[in-house]
Amino acid sequence: MKAAVCREFAKPLSIEEVELAAPGAGEIRVKVAACAICHSDIHYADGAWGGDLPSVYGHEASGTVEEIGAGVGEFTIGDPVVVMLVRSCGRCYYCADGDEVLCEADFPLDRDGPITGAGGESIHQGLRTGAFAEQVVVDASQVVAIPDGIPFDSASLLACGVITGLGAVVNTARVEAGSKVVVIGTGGVGLNSIQGAALSDCAMIIAMDISDQKLAAAKRFGATHGFNSSREDAGEAMRALTDGRGADYVFVTVGVKFVVEQAFGLIRNGGTLVLVGMPASGETAAFDPLRVANDCLVIIGSKMGFSRIRVDIPKLVDLYQRGSLELDALISGRYSLEEINEAIASVERGEALRNVIVF
């Protein structure tokens, strides 16, 4: 099969013929129909988080079940599915508590990946998925069935951008109706945080970005206000909207140190800061612990929207089918696998909400 292989950090991916092992016990092979490009894929390919090379990235995918390993009973050949990086055992300390995104189990695929190159060369399965490829083999826990008729390109977004952004609002922060919310960064994840805030009946949804184009998109997805922080003192403007107090919740959807530091100036006393975007490994941010303690601030991390994928994905599909959740308009461009470097460059230039590789 063809795959986009990263052989050197911060260099273009190469389209290569690779081999994919048959699914083992508890595993599934999926023919990929679409895979969205997430900033996490780009950060890994740029070397921001280290990792093994060569590697095939891509973790926001949809497609159809092609082959089923022993012991997997809930799928049949041909089922349309979403494939994501969340791999969970259902039995460990965290899974038993419903926190499957924190699963601590070791899986056979973690030790012996399914992708090999010429001469049996081992190729790392990036982000536990490796979906910049025509097919994937993943643990069955990473796969969720979806109804027939859902467009695969739109469905792929459910695998990360949607559950990460919307889940941060609904699952992690559990935002209350009537709240005043700030979302910093209005790319694919931030727009879904805005959708989550709108679905939660927030009274005020303030979008902050440095792109007028993305701020316009934020308004279409439910933001009540938008500020370009490269031109405006967004903090001052935001405080004017909140009687000088600040926001009830601030969601930082970009992994940028100084943005995290600035976010503390946007929260009201007793408010909550939710960190969604992930900076490069080893990067630290400074904050005033006295203010956190004295003003009763809450700081929460949110990985993959703290989602329970078998519960949350069907709910999101239902919202989409009822017209309450926008997916189609999140897609900026559709590219073939051979055009993946062009698609990535478009994301890096800040032009795209979500670009999708279609097969």
Q: What is the pLDDT of residues 47-93, one digit of tens each?
A: 999 999 999 999 999 999 999 999 999 999 999 999 999 999 999 99
Are 145 and 81 in contact, with CB atoms under 8 Å apart?
yes
Establish if 70 belongs to a structural domain: yes
Is the pLDDT at 270 greater than 90, yes or no? Answer: yes
The residues with which 55 forms a beta bridge, in sequence order, are 6, 124
Task: Write down the pLDDT at residue 102.
Answer: 98
Q: Which structure tokens are listed for 110?
A: 């973690």
For 117-159, write each residue's pLDDT tens digit.
Answer: 999 999 999 999 999 999 999 999 999 999 999 999 999 999 9
Is the pLDDT at 168 greater than 90, yes or no? Answer: yes
Is the pLDDT at 236 greater than 90, yes or no? Answer: no
User: What CATH number did the domain enclosing 270 receive?
Assistant: 3.40.50.720
Judgement on whether residues 99 and 151 belong to the same structural domain of the protein: yes
User: What CATH number did the domain enclosing 126 receive?
Assistant: 3.90.180.10
Q: What is the mean pLDDT of residues 176-182?
A: 98
Are 180 and 203 in contact, with CB atoms under 8 Å apart?
yes
Band the pLDDT of 235: cuts 50, 70, 90. confident
Of 264, 288, 303, the position where a domain reaches its end is: 303
Q: Is pLDDT larger for residue 331 or for residue 239?
A: 331
Judgement on whether residues 235 and 148 belong to the same structural domain of the protein: no
When divided into structural domains, the chain yields a total of 2
Q: What is the mean pLDDT of residues 104-117?
A: 96
Question: What's the sign of the alpha-carbon dihedral 175, 179, 182, 185?
Answer: positive
Burial of 292 (C-beta count, 10 Å sphere; 0-12/13-18/19+): middle
Establish if 38 belongs to a structural domain: yes
Task: Write down the pLDDT at residue 238.
Answer: 82
Is the pLDDT at 239 greater than 90, yes or no? Answer: no
Judgement on whether residues 32 and 51 belong to the same structural domain of the protein: yes
The mean predicted confidence, pLDDT, of the chain is 97
Establish if 345 belongs to a structural domain: yes
Task: Write down the pLDDT at residue 265.
Answer: 93
Are 125 and 4 in contact, with CB atoms under 8 Å apart?
no
Band the pLDDT of 165: cuts 50, 70, 90. very high
| Three-state secondary-structure class, residue 244 | coil
User: pLDDT > 90: what percent of the chain?
Assistant: 98
Look at strands 60-68 and 143-145 and give their pairing.
unpaired
Q: What is the mean pLDDT of residues 33-37?
A: 99
Judgement on whether residues 150 and 7 belong to the same structural domain of the protein: yes
For 314-347, write each residue's pLDDT tens digit.
Answer: 999 999 999 999 999 999 999 999 999 999 999 9
Judgement on whether residues 87 and 209 belong to the same structural domain of the protein: no
Judgement on whether residues 28 and 146 belong to the same structural domain of the protein: yes
Of 287, 303, 319, the position where a domain reaches its end is: 303
| Three-state secondary-structure class, residue 38 | coil
Band the pLDDT of 216: cuts 50, 70, 90. very high
Of the candidates 206, 178, 160, 195, the one whose C-alpha atom is nearest the C-alpha of residue 313 is: 160
Task: Write down the pLDDT at residue 64.
Answer: 99
Judgement on whether residues 9 and 137 belong to the same structural domain of the protein: yes
| Three-state secondary-structure class, residue 145 | strand
Judgement on whether residues 175 and 281 belong to the same structural domain of the protein: yes
Judgement on whether residues 8 and 144 belong to the same structural domain of the protein: yes
The pTM (predicted TM-score) of the whole model is 0.96
Is the pLDDT at 33 greater than 90, yes or no? Answer: yes
Band the pLDDT of 234: cuts 50, 70, 90. confident
Judgement on whether residues 240 and 118 belong to the same structural domain of the protein: no
Judgement on whether residues 154 and 279 belong to the same structural domain of the protein: no
Establish if 318 belongs to a structural domain: no
The residue range of the domain holding 21 is 2-159+327-358
Establish if 288 belongs to a structural domain: yes
